[in-house]
Copies of this chain bind each other. A is one copy, B any other.
Amino acid sequence: MFKPSSCRAAPLRRALPSHSSALLNPLAANVSKQCSGILVRRASTVTEGETTNKKERVVVLGSGWAGYGFSRALDPSKYERVMISPRSYFVFTPLLASTAVGTLEFRATLESVRRLGLDHFHQGWADDIDFNRKVIRVEANVSDDLRSRVNREISKNKTPELPSKQGEMFEVPYDKLVIACGSYSQTFGIEGVREHAYFLRDVGDARRIRLKVLQLFEKAALPTTSDEQRKKLLHFAIVGGGPTGIEFAAELHDLIRDDLSKLYPDLQKFVGITVYDVAPKVLPMFDQSLATYAMNHFKREGIQVKTEHHLTRIRPDEDTEGCMKLNIKEYGDEEVHAGIVVWSTGLMQNPLIEKLTGKAFECPPIAGNEELGGQIRLQKNPKTGSILTDHHLRVNVVPKDAPPENGNTYPNPGAMTDVYAIGDCAAIPDQALPATAQVASQKAVYLAKQFNKGNAGQQDFKFKNWGTMTYLGNWKAIHQSSADEMKGWTAWVLWRTAYLTKSMSVRNKIMVPIYWCITWLFGRHTSRF
């Protein structure tokens, strides 16, 4: 959290000349905070018995809406706060599509984990959890490529001669654990998606998309490129008609109309944007009237929406470098060409959740069910694979040999008293909540408040629907909540302002409106960097 006092002290200290050697006389006497070697030593002494006023150590896995939101709201005077995440920042995901087209600077969507002033932060992936010893095994992420672990398999297949590096492994103990490690993009095992499609989940994804879109225009503008190739290169395919796919299509259209049309007027006749979805209708979370409004708007802008279309394969086009060929079931053998395929069709569980829900372990202390004992396993949602929790967000457990497909309705699961799960990787059996930032955020704040009050496990979590919003391009949006519906420009401004006010640091609350103004005045940056 931003502290006004430190903000005033810092510049003074910096402006005055420092005659002491900051490097040779460092703050070495300070209490250890980030040097993890110390952490491990401290942790090991905990088990040997400590003074009674020692704070409980709460470890949270993840730095997304759930993990970051929880850590931000947890009282540091009551708990030792530890975070494990492969990235050292939180991403304000509703603005990712804007950064992918250059309306906003990438960094304006980021909040550094460091500003939370956590007791410890480990940049790495939780690889496994031992619920009996209460330790997490962590693989450090010190690689350049932030996608390194996710993509290790892909690169291994592509260039088997390059060694796939694994990070250092170490253990982190916990008193209470909050699993908030999110999910991956669902690719349904479709050939070529993981290798050739572009996702839009993290800021690195947004940067890759931005570079690729600008590249496609450069490539199409080359004198050596034929008109036929131009048409292939400048076809932008978006798979998935949920809010992310629709918003990206809208933002991309804005970029092309406002900025690229001036730089490449001759190329405009080759441009096409198509959204593909398997469902009969896009934006399923909106009422038919709003969805129809959105589709009419897209139609006017020249964005095609193809519902009930099934993509079955993506592969590179040998004839046009940088271009892809898409197989679509409804088109038979005829392939569709696209310069980029942006993928946003849904979520799948990440490897940690798969590992945790797939293994049996000795029963640790559990609440509410004394029948459980011996070998148990986590209860999982048979459809999505996510971890099921009770209404206090504590992780449910069932006997090891409980029928796997019956997880959802196992009559009397127990709940672990020291392990919680929130965000996209978790669900409550009888509440069908979507995997959205809103749900993750509300669960995070609820859980931190319960921790702060010291009555975790007593009051039920209740979701309040603040409504759903999708940007449609050209400064228009649709918004729907249980109370009302809105469409158009005013709704967009009000809603986004409210969101920003709620969720971002003072730094970004200042910077985001500045970027908006600058883009509005001078246009988007179109340099390939």
Copies in the complex: 2
Q: Which residues of B contact A14 (CB under 8 A)?
A: 258, 474-475, 520
Q: Is the CB of B527 within 8 A of A27?
A: no
Cα distance A107–B257 in the bound complex, in angstroms: 22
- Report whether A529 and B23 are in contact in the complex, using a CB–CB cutoff of 8 Å: no
Query: Given A27-B265, A34-B221, A258-B10, are A506 and B522 neighbors across the interface (CB < 8 Å)?
Result: yes
Note all chain B residues with C-beta closer than 8 A to A273. Answer: 23
The residue in chain B whose Cβ has the minimal distance to the Cβ of A145 is B211
Bound-state Cα–Cα, A204 to B257, Å: 28
Q: Chain B residues with Cβ under 8 A from A322's Cβ?
A: 142
Over the window 1-18 of chain A, the binary record of Cβ atoms lying under 8 Å from chain B Cβ atoms (1 yes, 0 no) is: 010000100110011011
Query: Is the beta-carbon distance between A11 and B521 smaller than 8 angstroms?
Result: yes
Q: In the bound complex, do residue B39 and residue A525 qualify as a contact, i.e. CB atoms below 8 Å apart?
A: no
Say whether A79 faces chain B, with CB atoms less than 8 Å apart: no
Which of these, B32, B123, B143, B269, contacts A28 with CB under 8 Å?
Answer: B269
- Interface residues on chain A, number (Cβ under 8 Å): 103
Residues of A494-529 whose CB lies within 8 A of B: 505-507, 510-511, 514, 518, 520-523, 525-529
Pick from B40, B224, B267: contact of A168, CB under 8 Å: B224
Contact assessment for A300 and B21 in the assembled complex, using a CB-CB cutoff below 8 Å: yes
Chain B residue numbers with a CB within 8 Å of A462 are none
- A263 cross-chain contacts in B, Cβ below 8 A: 33-34, 114
Specify which chain B residues have a CB less than 8 angstroms from the CB of A2 in the assembled complex.
522
A32 engages B257 (CB within 8 Å): no
Residues on B with beta carbons closer than 8 Å to the beta carbon of A24 = 302
Which residues of A390-434 are within 8 A (CB) of B?
Answer: none
- A22 CA / B414 CA spacing, docked (Å): 58
Cross-chain contact A35 with B264 (CB below 8 angstroms): yes
Q: A23-B273, A256-B23, A474-B17 are contacts. A219–B527 as well, Cβ < 8 Å?
A: no
A377 within 8 A of B: no
A222–B301 Cα distance when bound, in Å, is: 52
Greatest chain B CB density within 10 A among A31, A214, A266, A476 is at A266
- A269–B22 Cα distance when bound, in Å, is 10
A140 interfacial contact with B, CB 8 Å:
yes
Using Cβ atoms and an 8 Å threshold, which residues of chain B touch A68?
none
Cβ of A96 to closest chain B Cβ, rounded Å = 13
Residues of chain B with a CB closer than 8 A to A465's CB: none
Please, which residues of chain B bring their CB within 8 A of the CB of A133?
Answer: none
* 27 CB < 8 A contacts A-B: A7-B521, A10-B523, A15-B489, A17-B476, A23-B253, A23-B256, A23-B268, A23-B301, A26-B265, A27-B261, A27-B265, A35-B264, A35-B266, A37-B222, A39-B223, A87-B529, A88-B526, A88-B528, A105-B107, A113-B527, A114-B527, A142-B215, A144-B211, A168-B222, A204-B529, A507-B518, A510-B518
